[in-house]
């Protein structure tokens, strides 16, 4: 009787463990961690020029070696603020530059004609005031 109870208890634990491993995608997540490095995983999750556009912001930050924080405007209001990736609290914001993400001509609050386009990828822009 006690052995039968122990067997049922162990089987229950095994099923619970299998369910949790499957529910949290442990096998897929382990594979992605082993296959992709940290930067690729960030771009995979946050997008290059979609969603929060981590990849584009990183590209601009590295290419132009900016010494000030840049204002970032994302026309896609359903995603978190993208400046949190590279915000430096002790640095001031540049008044001349702007990173515009997920730009939609009809809906945007930013008039792109007021700026010179320094760099562009699909609907993401790095702009400088005229």
Same domain for 59 and 31?
no
Domain with 88, as residue range(s), is 41-129
CB 82 within 8 Å of CB 74 = yes
Task: Verify that 70 and 10 share a domain, yes or no.
Answer: no
Please indicate, yes or no, whether residues 85 and 120 belong to a single structural domain of this protein: yes
CB 110 within 8 A of CB 88: no
Nearest-angstrom CA–CA distance, 130 and 76:
25
Looking at the fold, whether 61 and 122 belong to one and the same domain comes out as yes
pTM for this one? 0.77
What are 83-120's pLDDT values in tens digits?
Answer: 788 888 888 998 999 999 999 888 888 888 899 999 99
pLDDT one-digit tens code per residue, 7-56: 888 999 999 999 999 999 999 899 988 999 999 999 998 999 998 999 99
State the residue for tokens 């993208």. 82
Task: Indicate whether 57 and 113 sit together in one domain.
Answer: yes
Do 97 and 122 belong to one domain?
A: yes
């Amino acid at each position: 009787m006690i052995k039968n109870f122990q067997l049922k208890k162990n089987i229950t634990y095994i099923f619970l463990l299998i369910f949790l491993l499957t529910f949290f995608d442990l096998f897929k997540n382990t594979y992605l961690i082993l296959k992709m490095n940290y930067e690729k995983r960030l771009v995979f999750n946050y997008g290059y020029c979609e969603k929060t556009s981590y990849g584009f912001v990183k590209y601009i930050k590295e290419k132009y070696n900016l010494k000030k924080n840049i204002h970032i405007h994302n026309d896609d209001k359903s995603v978190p603020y993208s400046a949190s990736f590279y915000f430096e609290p002790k640095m001031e914001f540049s008044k001349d530059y702007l990173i515009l993400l997920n730009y939609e001509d009809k809906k945007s609050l930013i008039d792109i004609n007021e700026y010179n386009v320094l760099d562009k990828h699909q609907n993401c822009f790095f702009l400088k005031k005229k």
